Amino acid sequence: MKILVAIKRVVDYNVRVQVKPDGSGVATDGVKMSINPFDEIAIEEALRIKEKGLADEVVVVTIGSNDSQQQLRTAMAMGADRSILVESGEAIQPLHAAQVLLKVIEAEQPGLVIMGKQAIDDDNNQTPQMLATLWNRPQATFVSELQFDGNNIKATREVDAGLQTIEVEMPAVISTDLRLNEPRFVKLPDIMKAKKKPLDVQAIGDLVSDPQGAAIEVLSYEPPQPRQKGIMVESVDELVNVLKEKGLVS
């Protein structure tokens, strides 16, 4: 079985995001970029499945600029066998990404597609669900545990009410939650080996030249309002009075 893992290049989660002065987007010049954390979990899970003898190959794919090769090399240093860069000079919205990934699936014919439940840059949480719908295959989202039973997968999902266990038939789309695993550290020898692994670059227009569906137009970006300074009170009565002044209690 082949596992296809979709990842995204994002601003590192340790970096404080800054909006450009003209509000046209997020400043990325000189900013550290990394694999989306949820996608790292997806890579780790695919590697663990392969190490159990349940898969023969792990292929990583991303859609983005040529700089995204860095994240693909990191994924191969973790243990992925090869990678695919679908090169695009523009930001890709979830539906367009799902359409592109569907074309990759048709070419690669994976038995399982794993991806993070959402990317930390836009937090849309849409691409896995859209991809499963376009592919017309089962999906298990927000997965925190996977168990294989022949051609079926038992997936434990994290939902509002607690945990839910469902069973899906492969091929299927899995989106990973935070508690599924802890990604491994990349070692220097593995980084050197990753430089020799295959990395295929394809133009996005060769896969999907005319994306279907209405695009979302982003008008501007702005940072969140700064938190107001806290107020120190000397007694419960003073606290109640302050809350009344703010209209929080009557």
- The domain spans of the chain are 2-216
Cα 107 from Cα 96, distance rounded (Å): 17
Bigger pLDDT: 135 vs 247: 135
Which region among 95-109, 130-144, 228-242 has the lowest average model confidence (pLDDT)? 228-242
Q: What are 21's two structure tokens?
A: 């002065």
Q: What are 139's two structure tokens?
A: 């999906």
Range 2-216 classified under CATH 3.40.50.620 = yes
pLDDT digits (tens, 9 = 90+) for 49-96: 999 999 999 999 999 999 999 999 999 999 999 999 999 988 888 999
* pTM confidence score: 0.86
Task: Specify the pLDDT at position 147.
Answer: 93
Sheet containing 199-203, strands listed edge to edge, beginning at the edge strand earlier in sequence: 162-169, 152-159, 139-149, 172-176, 112-116, 2-7, 57-64, 82-87, 199-203
Q: What are 5's two structure tokens?
A: 């893992």
Cα 138 from Cα 122, distance rounded (Å): 25
- By 3-state DSSP, what share of the chain in percent is helix, strand and coil, each rounded to 5? 30, 30, 45
pLDDT digits (tens, 9 = 90+) for 14-37: 888 888 888 888 888 888 999 999
Task: Specify the pLDDT at position 104.
Answer: 96
Nearest to 105, CA basis, from 116, 113, 93, 94: 113
Residue 78 has φ and ψ, to the nearest 5°, of -65, -30
pLDDT digits (tens, 9 = 90+) for 167-226: 999 999 999 999 999 999 998 999 999 999 999 999 998 998 878 777 788 888 888 888
Residue 49 has φ and ψ, to the nearest 5°, of -65, -45
Using DSSP bridges, classify how beta strands 139-149 and 152-159 pair: parallel, antiparallel or unpaired: antiparallel
